[in-house]
C-alpha cells in the first residue's frame, strides 16, 4: 500500500523504531545539521525536530528518512529486513508498469497560499547545514519540476537550492549533463524564461524516483506511480504551468530567466568534503509559495556516507543491472556501495568467456548513472557484491596488481571529486579504473585455488550435520 504523504510514512517509521522525535528546541544555524550528521554516522533513528529556534510551534525539520536499506524497504512497502538485492529486483519489476498521475482540484499543499509580495521563504526554518556553506539551503531533499521548451516532457529531478533572500533561490544543475540543464539550455538559447516548481516533503518514493537515473524523455512521475502501485495525485500550481504532488508539505513556484547568474556555493558535498567552488549559477525568482498547516521541511546533511543521497545507489545499481542484462552480459548482481559516496560500482558476473570484464566495463560506463563513476570492481558470481567483506577478499586475492587493473586517462569526471587537481577540476577530466577480480579462463581447473570457506571447502553432508549441531546448541 502506498503512503499518501510524508506524514504517513513518518508514522510508519516510528512504529518500526526508525524515528526519534526531538522535543527540545534546536537551532537552525548548524545545530540541526550537526545532529542529523551524527545520526548518519552512528546509524541512529531519523531525527524529527519538533521545535526550531526563531520559528513558530508546528514548523518542523526532518532529515535522513531513507538513509538505510530498512527505510527504503519500508518506503516500498516491503519487510524492513529485505535484502538490498531483492529491493533492486523489485524496483526493476515495478518499473516495467508505469502508472500515469491523476490531476486533482485541491490538496493539502494548498492550505496556505502566498503570491507575489507575500512570498517570504525565510518564514520556513531553512537550515544552515554545514559550517562554511555559502548560505542556508532550502532544497537538499526534494524534487524540482520543469517542462521542456517544446512542452512534450515534464522532468522531475533533484538540484540543490541555496536561499539567496526571501524570494530568490540558487540552483545547481551541472550544465547539459543533467536533464534540467538540457532544458534550461534550450530556453536560454531561445531567450525565454523557464518555469520551475519545487516540492518539499513528499512521499519518499517520489523523491527517490526524481533522483534516479530515468532516461531522457521518460516521466519520473509515472515511474513513481509504478513504485507506489497507484497514481500520484498532482495539483496545478498557482502561477506557473506545472503540476506538483498535492500532498507536498511546501511548494515553491518560480521562474529561471535566461543569462542571469548569481554566486552559489560552496556546500558540504556527497563526497564527504567541502570540495565545490563558488560559481555564478542560474537564479530562481519565486512567484508563489504554498504549504500545509504545520509544515515539515525535509533536508539532507551531505557529507561522509551514509546519507539518503548515498542510498540512491539502490536505484542506480538497478539501472546498471538492467543495462547489462539488455546487452546479454551474464550479470548476477550489481551494488553501488553507499559507503563509497557513489564513486564505486561492484558487478558480479558469470565468468563465461575471455574479455568479459572489458564488456562489463564498456556497458557500465555507457550508462547515465555510472558514466562518471571512477572505480569499477568486477567479481565472479560466487561473490555477493553487497557483502563488503567478500568484495574486499576478492579484490586482494583475485585481482593481479597490474594484469588485473585497467586504467583510462583523461575521461569525463565529476569535478567535485577531492582527488582531482585544479586543472582536472576545471576541465572535468579525470580517469577511470576497473579491477578484474576473476580467475583467468586459460588456467587449468587444478590451477584455480580452492576457496577455504564453509560453503566451499566442506562436503554438503558435513555442512548439514555441522549446522544441525549448531542449532541444537542455540546458535
Instruction: Report yes or no: 134 and 264 within 8 Å, Cβ to Cβ.
Output: yes
Q: What is the mean pLDDT of residues 321-349?
A: 94
Q: What is the pLDDT of residue 66?
A: 94
Q: What is the mean pLDDT of residues 346-359?
A: 96
pLDDT band of residue 212 (cuts 50, 70, 90) is confident
By CB atoms closer than 10 A (0-12, 13-18, 19+), residue 448 is exposed
Alpha carbon distance 167, 177 (integer Å): 27
Report yes or no on whether pTM surpasses 0.85: yes
- Range with the lowest mean pLDDT among 75-79, 171-175, 416-420, 439-443? 171-175
Task: Evaluate if residue 175 carries a pLDDT over 70.
Answer: no
Long-range contacts of 382-390 (CB under 8 A, 24+ apart): 382/451, 382/456, 383/348, 383/437, 384/85, 384/333, 384/348, 385/333, 385/334, 385/335, 385/346, 385/347, 385/348, 386/83, 386/84, 386/85, 386/333, 386/335, 386/337, 388/337, 388/339
Domain boundaries defined on the chain:
6-299, 314-438
The better pLDDT of the pair 313, 106 is held by 106
Question: Options 2.60.40.420, 2.170.190.11, 3.40.50.300, 2.30.110.10; which CATH number does 6-299 get?
Answer: 2.30.110.10
Q: What is the pLDDT of residue 177?
A: 62
Q: What is the mean pLDDT of residues 450-462?
A: 89
By CB atoms closer than 10 A (0-12, 13-18, 19+), residue 150 is exposed
Task: Evaluate if residue 119 carries a pLDDT over 90.
Answer: yes
Which residues lie across from 376 on neighbouring strands? Answer: 345, 434
Q: Quote the DSSP letter at residue 110.
A: G
pLDDT band of residue 167 (cuts 50, 70, 90) is very high
Same fold, 6-299 and 314-438: no
Q: State what percent of residues in the chain have pLDDT above 70.
A: 99
**Which residues contact residue 276 at a Cβ distance below 8 angstroms, ignoring those fewer than 6 apart?**
265, 266, 267, 269, 416
Could you tell me which CATH number the domain at 314-438 has?
3.40.1670.10
Q: What is the pLDDT of residue 170?
A: 95
Nearest alpha carbon to residue 387 among 346, 359, 356: 346
Grid cell digits, residue 425? 577540476
pLDDT band of residue 215 (cuts 50, 70, 90) is confident
Report the DSSP pairing between strands 194-200 and 250-256. Answer: antiparallel
Nearest alpha carbon to residue 210 among 235, 244, 238: 244
What is the tens place of the pLDDT at every residue in 183-209?
A: 999 999 999 999 999 999 999 999 999
Q: What is the pLDDT of residue 176?
A: 53
Q: What is the pLDDT of residue 273?
A: 87
Nearest alpha carbon to residue 38 among 350, 410, 248, 303: 303
| DSSP track, 286-325 | EEEEEE-SS-EEEE---SSS--TTGGGHHHHHHHHHHHHH
Q: What angle do the packed helices 313-326 and 84-95 form, to 10 degrees?
A: 60
| DSSP track, 178-209 | SHHHHHHHHHHHTT--EEEEEEES--HHHHHH
Q: What is the pLDDT of residue 213?
A: 81
Task: Evaluate if residue 320 carries a pLDDT over 80.
Answer: yes
Name the residue with cell 564513486: 343
What is the tens place of the pLDDT at every residue in 48-91?
A: 999 999 999 999 999 999 999 999 999 999 999 999 999 999 99
Nearest alpha carbon to residue 385 among 429, 449, 438, 441: 438
pLDDT band of residue 386 (cuts 50, 70, 90) is very high
DSSP SS3 for 173: coil
What is the pLDDT of the chain when averaged over all its residues?
Answer: 93
Burial of 299-323, coded b for 16+ CB within 10 Å and e otherwise, reads: bbbbbbbbbbbbbbbbbbbbbbbbb
- Range with the lowest mean pLDDT among 17-31, 167-181, 301-315, 400-414? 167-181
Q: What is the mean pLDDT of residues 334-359?
A: 94
Amino acid at each position: 500500500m502506498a503512503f499518501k504523504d510524508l506524514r504517513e510514512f513518518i508514522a510508519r517509521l516510528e512504529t518500526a523504531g526508525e524515528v526519534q522525535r526531538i522535543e527540545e528546541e534546536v537551532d537552525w544555524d548548524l545545530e540541526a545539521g550537526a545532529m542529523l550528521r551524527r545520526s548518519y554516522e552512528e546509524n541512529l533513528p531519523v531525527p524529527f525536530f519538533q521545535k526550531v529556534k526563531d520559528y513558530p510551534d508546528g514548523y518542523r525539520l526532518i532529515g535522513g528518512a531513507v538513509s538505510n536499506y530498512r527505510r527504503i524497504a519500508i518506503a516500498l512497502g516491503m519487510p524492513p529486513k529485505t535484502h538490498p538485492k531483492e529491493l533492486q529486483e523489485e524496483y526493476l519489476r515495478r518499473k516495467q508498469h508505469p502508472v500515469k498521475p491523476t490531476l486533482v482540484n485541491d490538496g493539502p499543499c494548498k492550505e496556505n497560499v502566498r503570491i507575489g509580495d507575500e512570498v517570504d521563504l525565510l518564514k520556513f526554518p531553512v537550515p544552515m547545514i554545514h559550517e562554511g556553506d555559502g548560505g542556508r539551503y532550502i532544497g537538499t531533499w526534494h524534487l524540482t519540476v520543469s517542462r521542456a521548451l517544446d512542452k512534450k516532457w515534464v522532468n522531475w529531478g533533484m538540484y540543490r537550492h541555496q536561499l539567496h533572500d526571501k524570494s530568490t533561490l540558487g540552483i545547481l544543475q551541472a550544465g547539459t549533463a543533467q536533464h534540467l540543464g538540457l532544458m534550461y539550455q534550450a530556453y536560454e538559447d531561445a531567450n525565454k524564461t523557464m518555469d520551475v516548481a519545487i516540492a518539499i516533503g513528499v512521499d519518499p518514493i517520489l523523491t527517490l524516483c526524481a533522483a534516479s537515473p530515468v532516461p531522457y524523455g521518460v516521466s519520473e512521475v509515472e515511474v513513481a506511480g509504478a513504485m507506489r502501485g497507484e497514481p500520484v495525485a498532482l495539483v496545478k500550481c498557482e502561477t506557473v504551468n506545472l503540476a506538483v504532488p498535492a500532498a507536498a508539505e511546501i511548494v515553491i513556484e518560480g521562474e529561471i530567466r535566461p543569462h542571469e547568474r548569481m554566486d552559489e556555493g560552496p556546500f558540504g558535498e556527497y563526497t564527504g568534503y567541502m570540495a565545490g567552488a563558488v560559481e555564478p549559477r542560474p537564479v530562481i525568482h519565486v512567484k508563489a509559495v504554498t504549504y500545509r498547516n504545520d509544515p515539515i521541511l525535509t533536508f539532507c546533511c551531505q557529507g561522509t556516507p551514509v546519507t539518503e543521497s548515498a542510498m540512491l545507489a539502490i536505484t542506480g545499481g538497478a539501472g546498471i543491472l538492467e543495462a547489462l542484462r539488455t546487452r546479454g552480459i551474464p550479470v548476477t548482481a550489481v551494488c553501488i556501495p553507499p559507503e563509497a559516496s557513489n564513486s564505486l560500482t561492484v558487478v558480479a558476473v558469470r565468468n563465461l568467456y575471455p574479455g568479459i570484464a572489458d564488456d562489463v566495463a564498456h556497458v557500465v560506463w555507457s550508462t547515465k548513472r555510472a558514466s562518471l563513476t571512477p572505480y569499477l570492481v568486477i567479481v565472479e558470481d560466487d561473490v555477493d557484491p553487497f557483502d563488503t567483506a567478500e568484495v574486499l577478499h576478492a579484490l586482494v586475492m583475485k585481482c593481479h596488481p597490474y594484469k588485473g587493473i585497467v586504467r583510462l586517462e583523461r575521461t569525463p569526471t565529476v569535478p567535485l571529486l577531492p582527488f582531482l587537481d585544479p586543472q582536472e577540476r576545471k576541465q572535468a577530466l579525470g580517469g577511470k579504473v576497473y579491477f578484474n577480480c576473476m580467475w583467468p579462463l586459460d588456467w587449468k581447473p587444478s590451477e584455480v585455488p580452492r576457496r577455504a570457506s564453509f560453503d566451499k571447502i566442506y562436503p554438503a553432508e558435513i555442512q548439514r550435520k555441522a549446522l544441525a549441531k549448531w542449532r541444537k546448541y542455540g546458535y
